[in-house]
Structure 1
């Protein structure tokens, strides 16, 4: 059996708003059939990052874990400090407790989901 990952979906209170945040952050286009109940971004390989409306959504409480994070997304960036500044300007928050700020940064998206930024490894010549 062969399986291919086609989507990763995040629960949230406002799919279009969260999709807009990640669209600005990643440059990925909004899926043409996005609406108030489900919105998605489409990567060039066809992978969809989806955002589905859940009434009564409770945001994860990272890092204390009272409400577990359920999942998180990881992104490589050229410059950690620059990426953090740009993403917080878009609405992300940078929690005070950072486990390894020299290697990666944990941010919270506008719906409270943690996501990680890591510096791209240097290119080998």
Structure 2
């Protein structure tokens, strides 16, 4: 049996860690980690899950749905109301690509740094 592994952190590359952390903070309500600075910012959820944002020189955002710059990673979030969540995310600076392969089951967005992420019904 393999050792038990508990996911404790996810880190995204970006050009501006503070701005991307601010976007996800407003979107999720996670708390800003006290050691955040201009090169690395983080958010924590009540159960300890940590999302980090690290500055990368010459960062190239993913291209969705094209793979000219691969997705690298994407996050999935469950929400009660897709329309309400979409309105909030667009107001916060997310983009909704034209290509939406999920139909009514999920919606794809990109964050301000270009990372794709999905919303699904809770």
Tell me which interval the TM-score lies in, with the shorter structure as reference length: over 0.9
Match of 1:114 among 113, 116, 120: 116
Partner of 1:12: 14
Looking at structure 2, the residues matched to 3 and 100 of structure 1 have their Cα atoms a distance apart, in angstroms, of: 30
Partner of 1:71: 73
Q: Which runs of 5+ in 2 are unaligned?
A: none
SS at match of 1:81: helix
- CA-CA distance at 1:94 after TM superposition: 0.3
Match of 1:43 among 42, 45, 52: 45
- CA-CA distance at 1:101 after TM superposition: 2.9
- CA-CA distance at 1:45 after TM superposition: 1.3
SS at match of 1:83: helix
**Deviations for 1:60-89, whole angstroms, at most 9, x for unmatched residues?**
001011100011000001111111111000
Partner of 2:98: 96
- CA-CA distance at 1:2 after TM superposition: 3.0
Q: Which runs of 5+ in 1 are unaligned?
A: 121-125
TM-score (norm 1): 0.93
- CA-CA distance at 1:47 after TM superposition: 1.0
> What is the aligned length?
120
Partner of 1:123: none
TM-score (norm 2): 0.95
